[in-house]
Every structure is written in structure tokens, then in C-alpha cells.
């Protein structure tokens, strides 16, 4: 098997599993691996095979800043070494400001570590996990395929696929994104709102060599951010009114570059070209609960967060870690690992933490999304104060790394 190409496994005649997992993205694939490593028999249903990796391919616009905690999970699942063989950038620092002279700077040296995380294309994270899935006999992959219908039996769940295959298992896991079929079928409601803003992702080629600090400047219209990418490349994130982002998406690359030079901070070297772009709306959604009988949801199926601090996939990986932990404990205690009591323990470990992170990002975002002078002076004073190297700053940095 080529190391950089996923393999679609052929379904066996036996269609009864321990777990059916809908969604083979980053969070779903990580969950499948962890469950299979615990000896469970897992079926994974996914609509699309991720495109195989070639070093000369253009960089994707969808990237994630995976934290050290997420790296540790990927390493335990056997995927991190594969991921590091593909394109990636370790980042060493984080910097945030609104007014010049009022900047908060975090650096890995402040807590004696080599880096704060890696910035990696989402597709490559998924590919590394799929390569690991292909090594495990306990995982059967149904791809490309989709769910046609769900059904509940006395103490199991059945999934009917569009390929006319029926799967049955004790536990159904929904890792199928913000518009989760699994969540909707179980009747789990959500709370949330649209932010009436969008984010534009722009890959640029710069005159600078590879950078190692990700930075973000706040404006009343929304942040302007840079994430380093491999070589002379970077990812810009432009938050703004949804109509404004729609207008920017209609510009050609040269016109867009001129707009970036006008609206991004002077810190961005003007010598760059736009390579590719994409956009998405900003939405906050939180499921009212994470489980029903024989069903559990995680990742974007359970929560979508303002991408301000890039914590979306890291929260999803924390969900994975918590679910794997409670199921392992139940297996060790010879408990019914698919029961509501076990799934409730997963929810207890994750719901409040996710809620806290979502609320914190909302408060931070709202606090900087205005031009009221007293608030502006207060928040910039707070940023300047936060830059003082102290135990509090070190605690915040460890939390950003997922270590607290």
C-alpha cells in the first residue's frame, strides 16, 4: 500500500458491528481508530474518499492549528508520524493586538517547550488517520456511501445505507458535522445563532521564508489573521460582514491582493501574491445534549464554535479522548459500554468545557467588535497587561495548548 493513499476496505458478509460511526473526517476517523484499538468492531460510513497526497499539490485553504494535546492524541492513535511526513508547519508563537504597542505575545520558550502546535491542512490530518485505519482489522470502511435511514431495535441501532446494505450495532456514533443526520434523527436539539459574519481563507505566496508565529489583529469589522504555511506561504483569515466577504470572493486574485494590502496590518509584507481563496459563514451551535440511548455525538455534530482561536478541531479531539476514556473504563469494569450511564459520563466530561470555550470566544469576539472609545482603551490595556510574563500568562498558554 502506498503510504500516502487511503484504502477503502471491502465490507465482510457479516454486517453486525459493535459500533457504527457516521462520518470519516478528522474526528470520526480518530474515534474509529481508538475504538478499534480497544478491540471493538467498527463500521465507518463516509461519503467521500479524501484526495491522495502529492507534495507538489497546491495547498488547501482549509487548515487547522492542532494543539500539542491534539498531537499527543494523534501520536497515541498511531497517526502523528504519518502526518509529519506530509506538509506541516510547527508554530512557536501566538500574537494578538488591536492598537500598536498593546500586544500580547506568547512563545513556546516561556514554558520550556519546543513548539505550541502544528498548522496542517485538514485533508492531510484526515489522510494520516485513514492510513492508520487501513492498518486495523477491526475497522470496515463503507466509502463512498451515505445513510438512507436509521432504525432502533430493542438494544441496538440499524443503519440502512444507500448501497442497500444494512448495518447493526450496539452504539451509533455521529461524527457527521454541523448538519449531523445522526443528531437530527435522535431528536437532539441545538441552541445557537448565526454571527451575520463570514470568514475568508486566503492562501498567499510571500517573499519571506517560512514563518513560525501566528498573529491576529482585531478591528471593529472582525480580526485579520495570519497562519504560517510551509515554505514561502501563509494563510490569511479575513473576518467581516457576510456581504463584504461575498464581494471579496468575486474579485480576481490581483484585485484581492490590493484589498488585503489596504486592510491588513503593515506587519504583512506587501510583496505577496494570492494563490487561492474560500469562505464560510460563522455560526454558533451547541447540542442540548450529547447522547441518547445507543447514540452519541461529538465534534461539529455536537458543537460549532467561533473560529477566532482556531479551537474547533482541538475541541473535537478532546471529545474523542473523553469518549475513548469512558468506554475503556466501562470495558475494564465489564460494564455495558454502550449504555446511557456510560455515555452520560462522556457528556459530563465535555459539555461544560465546550460551553466555557464557546462562551469565552463569544465574549472576546463581541468585546473587540466595536469602536466605543472607553471599551477600546480598556481592552487594549488588558492586552498590554496580559503580555507581562506571569504564572497567569503561562496558565493561559498551557490552556491554549490543550494541556490544562
- pLDDT surpassing 70 at residue 87: yes
Strands (E), 81-232: 89-91, 93-97, 103-107, 117-121, 139-142, 147-152, 157-161, 166-174, 190-206, 213-217, 224-229
pTM: 0.89
Which residues on adjacent β-strands are paired with residue 101?
Answer: none
pLDDT value at residue 73:
97
How confident is residue 376, by pLDDT bands cut at 50, 70 and 90? Answer: very low
pLDDT value at residue 298:
97
Helical spans, DSSP H, in 101-168: 122-133
- pLDDT surpassing 50 at residue 309: yes
Nearest to 225 by CA among 308, 132, 328: 308
- CA dist., res. 393 & res. 96, Å (int): 13
- pLDDT surpassing 80 at residue 90: yes
pLDDT value at residue 368:
56
- pLDDT surpassing 80 at residue 24: yes
**Are 171 and 20 in contact, with CB atoms under 8 Å apart?**
yes
- CA dist., res. 143 & res. 134, Å (int): 13
pLDDT value at residue 7:
42
| Average pLDDT over every residue of 31-46 | 98
- pLDDT surpassing 90 at residue 362: no
- pLDDT surpassing 80 at residue 310: no
199-203, 266-270, 376-380: which is most confident: 199-203
Task: List the single range of 22-31, 337-346, 395-404 with lowest mean pLDDT.
Answer: 395-404
- For the segment 129-178, what is each residue's pLDDT rounded down to a tens digit? 999 999 999 999 999 999 999 999 889 999 999 999 999 999 999 999 99
- CA dist., res. 324 & res. 210, Å (int): 36
- CA dist., res. 267 & res. 287, Å (int): 39
- pLDDT surpassing 60 at residue 179: yes
What is the percent of the chain with per-residue pLDDT over 90, rounded to a whole number?
69
Handedness of CA 314, 316, 319, 323 (dihedral sign): negative
- For the segment 91-135, what is each residue's pLDDT rounded down to a tens digit? 998 888 877 766 777 888 877 888 989 999 999 999 999 999 999
- pLDDT surpassing 60 at residue 378: no
Burial of 38 (0-12, 13-18, 19+ CB in 10 A): middle
- For the segment 184-205, what is each residue's pLDDT rounded down to a tens digit? 999 999 998 787 789 999 999 9
Amino acid at each position: 500500500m502506498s503510504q500516502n493513499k487511503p484504502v477503502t476496505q471491502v465490507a465482510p458478509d457479516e454486517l453486525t458491528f459493535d459500533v457504527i460511526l457516521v462520518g470519516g473526517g478528522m474526528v470520526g476517523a480518530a474515534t474509529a481508530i481508538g475504538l478499534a484499538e480497544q478491540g471493538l468492531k467498527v463500521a465507518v460510513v463516509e461519503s467521500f474518499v479524501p484526495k491522495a497526497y502529492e507534495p507538489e499539490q497546491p495547498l488547501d485553504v482549509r487548515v487547522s492549528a492542532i494543539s500539542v494535546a491534539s498531537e499527543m492524541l494523534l501520536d497515541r492513535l498511531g497517526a502523528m508520524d504519518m502526518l509529519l511526513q506530509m506538509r506541516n508547519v510547527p508554530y512557536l508563537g501566538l500574537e494578538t493586538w488591536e492598537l500598536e504597542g498593546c500586544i500580547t505575545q506568547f512563545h513556546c520558550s516561556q514554558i520550556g517547550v519546543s513548539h505550541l502546535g502544528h498548522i496542517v491542512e485538514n485533508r492531510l490530518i484526515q489522510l494520516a488517520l485513514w492510513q492508520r485505519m487501513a492498518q486495523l482489522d477491526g475497522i470496515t470502511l463503507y466509502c463512498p456511501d451515505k445513510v438512507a435511514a436509521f432504525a432502533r431495535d430493542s438494544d441496538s441501532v440499524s443503519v440502512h445505507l444507500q448501497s442497500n446494505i444494512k448495518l447493526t450495532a450496539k452504539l451509533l456514533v455521529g461524527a457527521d458535522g454541523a448538519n449531523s443526520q445522526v443528531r437530527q434523527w435522535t431528536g437532539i436539539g441545538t441552541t445557537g445563532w448565526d454571527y451575520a459574519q463570514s470568514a475568508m481563507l486566503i492562501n498567499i505566496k510571500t517573499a519571506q521564508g517560512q514563518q513560525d508565529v501566528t498573529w491576529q489583529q482585531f478591528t471593529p469589522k472582525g480580526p485579520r489573521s495570519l497562519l504560517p504555511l510551509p515554505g514561502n506561504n501563509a494563510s490569511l483569515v479575513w473576518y467581516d460582514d457576510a456581504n463584504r466577504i461575498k464581494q471579496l470572493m468575486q474579485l480576481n486574485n490581483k484585485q484581492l491582493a490590493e484589498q488585503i494590502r489596504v486592510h491588513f496590518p503593515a506587519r504583512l509584507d506587501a510583496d505577496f501574491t494570492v494563490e487561492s481563496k474560500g469562505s464560510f459563514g460563522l455560526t454558533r451551535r451547541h447540542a442540548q445534549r450529547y447522547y441518547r440511548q445507543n447514540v452519541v455525538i461529538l465534534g461539529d455534530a455536537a458543537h460549532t464554535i467561533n473560529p477566532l482561536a482556531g479551537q474547533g478541531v482541538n475541541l473535537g479531539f478532546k471529545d474523542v479522548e473523553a469518549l475513548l476514556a469512558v468506554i475503556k473504563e466501562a470495558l475494564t469494569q465489564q460494564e455495558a459500554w454502550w449504555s446511557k450511564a456510560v455515555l452520560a459520563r462522556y457528556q459530563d466530561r465535555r459539555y461544560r468545557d465546550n460551553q466555557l470555550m464557546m462562551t469565552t470566544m463569544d465574549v472576546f469576539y463581541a468585546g473587540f467588535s466595536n469602536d466605543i472609545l472607553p471599551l477600546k482603551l480598556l481592552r487594549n490595556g488588558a492586552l498590554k497587561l496580559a503580555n507581562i510574563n506571569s504564572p497567569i500568562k503561562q496558565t493561559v498558554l498551557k490552556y491554549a495548548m490543550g494541556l490544562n
